[in-house]
């Protein structure tokens, strides 16, 4: 994997760059749609490519390990072949999913023991077998196994959690360097900076991660219950330490405002389920603000969903029609809203990139966060 910075912006840490992988080039900053089980929920792969031009998507090691399972993925030749996707894929290690199973998992130096949410069967993730699993999945970028502590964790828990994550990282990094890809394309390994909301822990974790010299680095454990301002503070602390010549991935974040604030602080890559999850529940993100499409006010509004939009849904359907679909319980409503929101997020990062290159990102961002916070 190669990364180069093409432009930076005055009065901001924002940068425009380019990540080259064997499955394609990714312009940064970039938003990555979440395809947890090998599918971006409700969106066809053709639409991801042709309608919203997603340059990279995510898969999840935990979910893919459980279903369809490693035997099927191996026989298929990896996730790219299995799902018919020829662009880059990033896989999360499953650490966050195991974190969410608080009642049915046990963490130790060995790894994470957990029960499947599907059938209750018991499994063990170790730093080594998570690398092996991601070799079988064949993602272009794989993540280290980590623990994601809640944003409200006390210092004692956050300290123990970070020690566990650092130990796992050393083993995962070693195993990654002792193994090779299975399908003829290269794979990168991103370590993850944890440390909850404690500056000294974040600094320690960032220095440890930076010292490995991996091809890219990630920041995890944010947007998990802590205030947004605390999240931004942690990003600034970590990015002061992470190398500038490697891509920085902020995991699981977030709202359009969160994304612009993260880019302003030097983040290159982001992902979140919010565009599709909120879309399925009737929330649309637009260039004018946020709309709840179930509200009565849209019942006779025949204007386009988002006149400034670039995806096919923006010009094909009216607000009144989409509200009608939601009120009627039609599946098409969730599809239209999901692809609209993904299109909006990808358009937002493209606009951010353009303003970084033009040198006026900071002023543009300050105007945009006011608009994007507005409820229509």
What pLDDT sits at residue 214?
98
> Which tokens belong to 113?
């023991």
Mean pLDDT in residue range 9-37 = 97
Q: Would the pLDDT of 315 be above 90? A: no
What pLDDT sits at residue 102?
63
Contact 305, 284 (CB under 8 A): yes
What pLDDT sits at residue 364?
97
Q: Would the pLDDT of 104 be above 80? A: no
Alpha-carbon gap, residue 288 to 301, rounded angstroms: 15
Question: Which of 92, 140, 146, 306 is an active site residue?
Answer: 92
Sheet holding 188-190, edge to edge: 57-60, 89-92, 141-143, 188-190
Contact 146, 193 (CB under 8 A): no
* 271 annotated active-site: yes
Beta pairing partners, 107: 112
Report pTM.
0.96
> Which tokens belong to 93?
């290690």
Residue with structure tokens 């749609």?
A: 33
Mean pLDDT in residue range 293-302 = 98
Q: Please give the backbone phi and psi of residue 114, each rounded to the nearest 5 degrees, phi first.
A: -150, 165
What pLDDT sits at residue 312?
63
Q: Would the pLDDT of 363 be above 70? A: yes
What pLDDT sits at residue 189?
98
Question: Which of 140, 146, 264, 271 is an active site residue?
Answer: 271
What pLDDT sits at residue 149?
87
What pLDDT sits at residue 40?
97
Alpha-carbon gap, residue 291 to 278, rounded angstroms: 11
Percent of the chain at pLDDT > 90 equals: 89
Q: How confident is the model at residue 310 (pLDDT cuts 50, 70, 90)?
A: low
Helix intervals (H) in the chain: 45-50, 61-66, 70-76, 79-83, 95-100, 127-137, 155-178, 199-212, 228-239, 256-264, 274-280, 312-316, 319-327, 331-358, 361-372
Beta pairing partners, 270: 31, 250
Alpha-carbon gap, residue 44 to 38, rounded angstroms: 11
Mean pLDDT in residue range 84-96 = 92
Residue with structure tokens 């066809």?
A: 44
Alpha-carbon gap, residue 290 to 313, rounded angstroms: 17
Model pLDDT for residues 44-88, shown as the tens digit of each residue: 999 999 999 999 999 999 999 999 999 999 999 999 999 999 999
Alpha-carbon gap, residue 334 to 342, rounded angstroms: 12
Q: Would the pLDDT of 337 be above 70? A: yes
Residue with structure tokens 């490693």?
A: 70
| Residue 77 vs residues 22, 72, 139: alpha-carbon distances, Å | 16, 9, 11
Length of the chain: 376
Per the prediction, the chain carries an average pLDDT of 95
What pLDDT sits at residue 307?
84
Q: Would the pLDDT of 101 be above 70? A: no
Q: Please give the backbone phi and psi of residue 42, each rounded to the nearest 5 degrees, phi first.
A: 85, 0
Alpha-carbon gap, residue 361 to 120, rounded angstroms: 49
Mean pLDDT in residue range 219-227 = 90
Identify the residue with better confidence: 221 or 102: 221
* 268 annotated active-site: no
Mean pLDDT in residue range 293-306 = 96
Quickly count helices (H) and strands (E) in the chain. Answer: 15, 17
Identify the residue with better confidence: 224 or 358: 358
């Amino acid at each position: 994997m190669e990364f180069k910075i093409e432009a930076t912006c005055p009065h901001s840490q924002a940068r425009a760059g380019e990540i080259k992988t064997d499955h394609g080039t990714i312009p940064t900053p970039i938003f990555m749609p979440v395809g947890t089980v090998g599918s971006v929920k409700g969106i066809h792969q053709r639409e991801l490519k042709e309608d919203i031009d997603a340059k990279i998507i995510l898969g999840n090691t935990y979910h893919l390990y459980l279903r369809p399972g490693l035997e099927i993925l191996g026989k298929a030749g990896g996730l790219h072949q299995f799902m018919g996707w020829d662009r880059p894929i990033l896989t999360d290690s499953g650490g966050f999913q195991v974190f969410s199973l608080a009642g049915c998992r046990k963490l130790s130096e060995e790894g994470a023991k957990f029960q499947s949410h599907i059938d209750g069967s018991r499994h063990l993730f170790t730093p080594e077998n998570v690398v092996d699993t991601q070799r079988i999945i064949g993602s272009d970028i794989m993540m280290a196994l980590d623990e994601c502590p809640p944003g409200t964790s006390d210092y004692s828990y956050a300290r123990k959690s970070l020690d566990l994550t650092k130990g796992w990282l050393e083993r995962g990094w070693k195993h990654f360097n002792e193994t090779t890809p299975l399908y003829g394309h290269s794979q990168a390994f991103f370590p993850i900076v944890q440390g909850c909301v404690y500056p000294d822990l974040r600094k320690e974790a960032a220095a440890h991660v930076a010292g490995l010299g991996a091809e890219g680095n990630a920041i995890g454990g944010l947007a998990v219950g802590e205030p947004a301002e605390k999240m931004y503070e942690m990003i600034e602390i970590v990015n002061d330490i992470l190398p500038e010549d490697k891509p920085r991935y902020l995991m699981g974040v977030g709202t359009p405002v969160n994304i612009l604030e993260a880019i302003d602080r030097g983040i290159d890559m982001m992902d979140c389920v919010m565009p599709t999850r909120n879309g399925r529940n009737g929330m649309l993100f637009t260039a004018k603000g946020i709309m709840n499409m179930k509200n009565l006010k849209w019942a006779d509004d025949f204007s386009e969903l988002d006149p400034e939009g670039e995806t096919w849904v923006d010009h094909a359907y009216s607000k009144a029609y989409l509200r009608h679909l939601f009120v009627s319980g039609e599946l098409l409503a969730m599809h239209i809203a999901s692809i609209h929101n993904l299109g909006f997020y990808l358009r937002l990062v493209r606009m951010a990139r353009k303003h970084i290159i033009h040198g006026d990102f900071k002023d543009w961002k300050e105007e945009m966060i006011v608009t994007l916070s507005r409820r229509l």
